[in-house]
Amino acid sequence: MANLKNSKSQSMGLHKEVLAGRTQQVFFNPEEAENFFYYGAYDVDFNKRTEIDAMDLTAKQLNDKLHSLMKEGYGSVVIKNPQGKHSLGVGILNKLNLIFEGSLGYFGVGSIDGPVVRITGRVGWSCAENMMAGKVVIEKNAGSCFGAAIRGGDLICKGSVGARTGIDMKGGTIIVGGDAGAFTGFMMQRGRIIVLGDAGINLGDSMYDGTIFIGGKIKSFGSDAIKAKITSDDISWLKRKLKVAEIGSDFDLSKMTKVVAGKKLWNYDALEPSEKKGAI
């Protein structure tokens, strides 16, 4: 556990509270190894492995159990019989090898930062929402809002995904082995989406930035989403990412369609907000 010390700014009387976590102000000192860990993160050993049977556990009971195991130093945990329950494996801000033998319901492995997760079944809506870092691999299909608002990490579905995949994503990579539903990349702000199969209607609708690669057919483009030329850098990056995802090794990457924001919708002029108000 991190041992937080008073900082210079505290000694100067600028503030009194003890700050913790990446999302808050951290006074970084490369000399202090504990600064590399979250407040509340546990030092785990990947060789220390155990199993949990989730059949009769509620989501809260299972999530509490996971935290207890990490506290005890377990670095590899296998969860059996998840039974499609919602909100399993959420809020893990730790390195951890986590395997679900079965399927998850809604909001599975949401708000995680660091673990490597493998799910042998499918996942419901909003899998890995707000993921910050780590790697999640789903062996089968995923529901809608897959990877909503993720900021980092690799989120991989070897099957097909539902509508609004990568909605509002702000970083990281989503990789889909099958098809993707309507509004994939809706309002995405950063990051990349790779879909080896087809994409549904309104691909990349109102995207601010980021890149989408589609291997199959595109039903229709959304507002302000346009095709772009695929570069050799793109190809080499795609090769690397698909290798990480363990899919598409024989896929012809030259057939990919690259989609980016036309930047006409949101950045159509250089007016300041106050000037826009005046214009209205």
Partner 1 sequence: MCGIAGLIHKGKTVNIGKELQDMLQALKHRGPDSTGFALYGKGNNQGDYIMRFKVGENVAEGSSAVNEDKSVYDERRKLVDKHIRELGGSIVNDAQLTPYSFRYCIKYDKDLMEFSKRIESVEMTEILSLGKSLELVKDIGDASVVSKQYGLDKIKGTHAIGHSRMATESGVDIRSAHPFWGYPFSDVSVVHNGQLTNYWNNRRALENKGMRFMSECDSELIAVYLAQKMRSGASLQDGMQDSLKELDGVFTYLVATKDSLGMAKDTMAAKPMVLYESDDLVALGSEEIAIRTLLPQEIDTYDPYDGEVKVWQI
Q: What would the two tokens of residue 278 be?
A: 């005046």
Rounded to an integer, what distance in angstroms lies between the CA atom of residue 140 and that of residue 156?
10
Choice between 62 and 93, CB closer to partner 1: 62
Least Å from the CB of residue 245 to partner 1: 20
Among 91, 159, 197, 216, binds partner 1 (CB under 8 A): 159
Number of residues forming the site for partner 1 (CB under 8 A): 30
Strands of the 225-228 sheet, one edge to the other: 45-53, 74-80, 97-101, 113-119, 133-138, 154-157, 170-176, 190-195, 211-214, 257-261, 225-228
Least Å from the CB of residue 67 to partner 1: 23
| CA atoms within 13 Å, Cβ hemisphere of 220 | 7
For 32, phi and psi rounded to 5 degrees? -100, 105
Q: Kindly state whether residue 195 participates in binding partner 1, applying the rule CB under 8 A.
A: no
Contact pattern from residue 83 through residue 112 relative to partner 1, giving x for each residue in contact according to CB under 8 A and a dash for the rest: xxxx--------------xxx-xx------
Q: Kindly state whether residue 122 participates in binding partner 1, applying the rule CB under 8 A.
A: yes
Among 114, 172, 200, 222, binds partner 1 (CB under 8 A): 200
One DSSP character per residue, 64-115 reads: HHHHHHHHTTEEEEEEE--TT-SSTT----S--EEEEES-B-TTTTTT-EEE
Contacting range for partner 1; rule: CB under 8 A; set: 29-37, 71-79, 135-143, 251-259? 135-143
SS3 of residue 157 by DSSP: strand
Least Å from the CB of residue 182 to partner 1: 4
Among 110, 134, 143, 222, binds partner 1 (CB under 8 A): 143
For 109, phi and psi rounded to 5 degrees? 40, 45
Rounded to an integer, what distance in angstroms lies between the CA atom of residue 254 and that of residue 274?
45
Q: Kindly state whether residue 201 participates in binding partner 1, applying the rule CB under 8 A.
A: yes
Q: Kindly state whether residue 216 participates in binding partner 1, applying the rule CB under 8 A.
A: no
Within 8-67, which residues bind partner 1 (CB under 8 A)?
A: none
Within 224-243, which residues bind partner 1 (CB under 8 A)?
A: none
User: Where does residue 124 rank: exposed (0-12), middle (13-18), buried (19+ CB within 10 A)?
Assistant: buried
Q: Kindly state whether residue 182 participates in binding partner 1, applying the rule CB under 8 A.
A: yes
Rounded to an integer, what distance in angstroms lies between the CA atom of residue 231 and that of residue 217?
20
Choice between 198 and 209, CB closer to partner 1: 198
Choice between 85 and 95, CB closer to partner 1: 85
Q: Kindly state whether residue 160 participates in binding partner 1, applying the rule CB under 8 A.
A: yes
Q: What is the DSSP letter of 131?
A: -
Binding site for partner 1 (CB under 8 A): 83-86, 101-103, 105-106, 120-122, 124-125, 140-144, 159-160, 162-164, 179, 181-183, 200-201
